[in-house]
Amino acid sequence: MTTTQATRKRRLSPQLRRDLLGLFFISPWLIGFIMWTVYPLGASLYYSFHRYDLMRPAVFLGLKNYIDLFTKDPRIGRVVYNTVYYVGLSAPLGIIAAFLMASLLNAKIKFRSAFRAIFFFPSIVPVVVSATVWRFLLDPQWGAVNATLRGLGMQTMPFFSNPDWAKPTLIGIHIWAQGGAIVIFLASLQDVPRSLYEAATVDGANAWHKFWHVTIPMCSPVILYNLIMAFIGGFQTFTMPYILTNGGPNLATEMYSMHLYRNAFTNLRMGKASAMAWILFIVIVAFTVILFRTSARWVYYSGEEE
């Protein structure tokens, strides 16, 4: 027995022993990753081809869930329109607002640290808390904003009760909560070489020329990153519209993720919800690939050689 154990130890090289020891130490994470990420992904793909309601065994349907989603769901057209409208406006407008605010906060002004903390504050507040505060502020009857408008003798605004105003209001709230993107842009702005601005000044460039031809190109990789994250987050937006409007009024703010949630946990159509999730995944991947493919035209990487 002793001879056999000694032979096995000699067969294990030092590198293999280190690898096994490393796997042992990361095994809790590996187990959690398999249980809570790999298995749910595989299960959702499996159930997307089945009819499953948690109560009865799954029944194989093939592609029926995918086909019925776009042929028999009366709400899908409105849901897709709402989502594309929201993403198409909130993502670029949020990035533009964040970059402009970061540029202002990067300037040498008084109380700059205080302003930075104020602009970043919305990002550390839980979304549920932010939504509750905004619902109080913008309520058409007793909200603080409309109360102020009435006090000034002005007409009140139906922020969440009018279908024409509901989505723009959500987009405005999204633009307000850009603290995370602002911090990332600030780090990028502080990394722009001062020598480029000095050279531009020598060449006679004004502030606008410096901003357009120096600041934006040097920050373009970070702009691409924030834009991709904004698109991904926009397609998956759920909490803010769910709390503020619950999809109303008249389905004006019913987003794709909310429709997915209702199919899964209200109607117990787990197969259809799984199919919707995989379609959303494919759409997000497609948008990300398109952004990466088109980025070569406008993203500048200073480390790349010509």
Q: What is the CATH number of the domain that holds 253?
A: 1.10.3720.10
What is the reported pLDDT for 306? 46
* Rounded distance between C-alpha atoms, residue 91 and residue 175, angstroms: 9
Tokens of 215: 């600041």
What is the reported pLDDT for 112? 84
What is the reported pLDDT for 218? 93
Return the bridge partners of 50, or none.
60
Tokens of 205: 């460039």
* Rounded distance between C-alpha atoms, residue 197 and residue 240, angstroms: 41
Residues 169 and 39 occupy one common structural domain: no
Domain assignment present for residue 235? The answer is: yes
Tokens of 268: 């117990």
Residues 40 and 91 occupy one common structural domain: no
Domain assignment present for residue 35? The answer is: yes
The type of residue at 46 is Y
What is the reported pLDDT for 10? 58
Residues 16 and 148 occupy one common structural domain: no
What is the reported pLDDT for 9? 54
Tokens of 255: 């987003």
Tokens of 208: 């606008």
Unique residue bearing structure tokens 């906060």: 105
Return the bridge partners of 60, or none.
50
User: What is the reported pTM?
Assistant: 0.89
Give the DSSP letter string of 20-69: HHHHHHHHHHHHHHIIIIIHHHHHHHHHTTEE--SSS--EE-TTHHHHHH
Residues 38 and 71 occupy one common structural domain: no
Number of compact structural domains in the chain: 2
Residues 84 and 19 occupy one common structural domain: no
* Rounded distance between C-alpha atoms, residue 227 and residue 250, angstroms: 30
Q: Which of 261, 278, 185, 187 is nearest to 229 (CA)?
A: 185
Q: Which of 61, 244, 267 is nearest to 160 (CA)?
A: 244
Residues 42 and 125 occupy one common structural domain: no
Q: Domain residues for 41?
A: 2-47
Residues 30 and 86 occupy one common structural domain: no
Domain assignment present for residue 59? The answer is: no
Domain assignment present for residue 42? The answer is: yes
Residues 8 and 132 occupy one common structural domain: no
**Phi, psi dihedrals of residue 246, rounded to the nearest 5°:** 55, 35
Print pLDDT tens along the chain (306 aa): 555 555 555 567 888 888 899 999 999 999 999 999 999 999 999 999 999 998 899 999 999 999 999 999 999 999 999 999 999 999 999 999 999 999 999 888 888 888 888 888 888 889 999 999 999 999 888 889 999 988 888 888 989 989 999 999 999 999 999 999 999 999 999 999 999 999 999 999 999 999 999 999 999 999 999 999 999 999 999 999 999 999 989 999 999 999 999 999 999 999 999 999 999 999 999 999 999 999 888 898 866 554
Residues 129 and 275 occupy one common structural domain: yes
Element housing 298 (H / E): none
Domain assignment present for residue 187? The answer is: yes
CA geometry: angle 140, 142, 143, nearest 5 deg: 70
Q: Which residue blocks in 107-247 are alpha helix, DSSP H?
A: 112-124, 127-138, 144-151, 163-176, 179-189, 194-202, 207-210, 216-235, 239-244
Domain assignment present for residue 60? The answer is: no
Residues 164 and 23 occupy one common structural domain: no
What is the reported pLDDT for 13? 80
Domain assignment present for residue 57? The answer is: no
Residues 220 and 122 occupy one common structural domain: yes
Residues 168 and 113 occupy one common structural domain: yes
Report in angstroms the alpha-carbon separations of 185 from 98, 215, 225, 275: 8, 11, 10, 36
What is the reported pLDDT for 185? 95
Domain assignment present for residue 52? The answer is: no
